[in-house]
């Protein structure tokens, strides 16, 4: 089962460091991260979102492959490649997997100026090691899909 945890942080820089930290933890097999995103307000108060999972690139590559195959069948591989890549890119933009975009926008709109939120979607984690790695950033738990008991344990672990 995947778990969503939304962490409040003091700055966009801290949020970027935490996302990088989760990538490092994943490389160490301490965290199986499905997706991550950052929300923050810019200097004009507009919510900005940075997502780590890009579907457009892989979908465009897949579309280009199939477009080339179709183009070869109709003796025009270049046109097939272009149409396939465009179709794949469009499909990638329309596919919503991972963290719900509406949730990211909703939480982002509630952020105070200068603050940021990190959204982590993880399948599993070595909780004690991940919590220890996150502690220096003093994150606050904004939202989770954990049980109330597990959420309370996480809050306590991050505060101690």
Average pLDDT in the chain: 80
pLDDT of 150: 86
Residue 12, token pair as written in the block: 């966009």
- Select from 37, 35, 45 the least CA-distant residue to 122: 35
Q: Which residues pair with 7 in a beta bridge?
A: 118, 141
Which part of the chain is CATH 3.30.70.260?
Answer: 3-53+114-159
Q: Which fold has domain 3-53+114-159?
A: Alpha-Beta Plaits (3.30.70)
Contact 39, 108 (CB under 8 A): yes
Provide the token pair at 146.
Answer: 């954990």
Q: At 43, is the pLDDT very low, low, confident or very high (cuts 50, 70, 90)? A: confident
Indicate whether 38 pLDDT > 90. yes
Of residues 145 and 81, the one with the higher pLDDT is: 145
DSSP 3-state assignment of 14? helix
Q: What is the pLDDT of residues 8-19, one digit of tens each?
A: 999 999 999 999
Sign of the CA dihedral with 145 first, then 19, 124, and 156 last? negative
**pLDDT of amino acid 85:** 54
């Amino acid at each position: 089962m995947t778990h969503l945890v939304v962490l409040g942080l003091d700055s966009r820089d801290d949020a970027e460091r935490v996302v990088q930290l989760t990538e490092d933890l994943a490389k160490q097999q301490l965290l199986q991260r499905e997706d991550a995103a950052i929300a923050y307000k810019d200097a004009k108060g507009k919510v900005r979102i940075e997502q780590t999972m890009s579907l457009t690139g892989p979908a465009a590559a897949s579309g280009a492959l199939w477009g080339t195959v179709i183009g070869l069948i109709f003796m025009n591989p270049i046109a097939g490649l272009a149409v396939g890549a465009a179709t794949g890119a469009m499909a990638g933009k329309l596919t919503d997997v991972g963290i719900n975009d509406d949730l990211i926008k909703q939480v982002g709109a509630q952020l105070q100026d200068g603050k940021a939120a990190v959204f982590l979607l993880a399948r599993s984690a070595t909780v004690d090691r991940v919590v220890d790695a996150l502690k220096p950033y003093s994150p606050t738990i904004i939202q989770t899909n954990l049980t109330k008991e597990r959420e309370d344990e996480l809050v306590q672990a991050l505060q101690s």
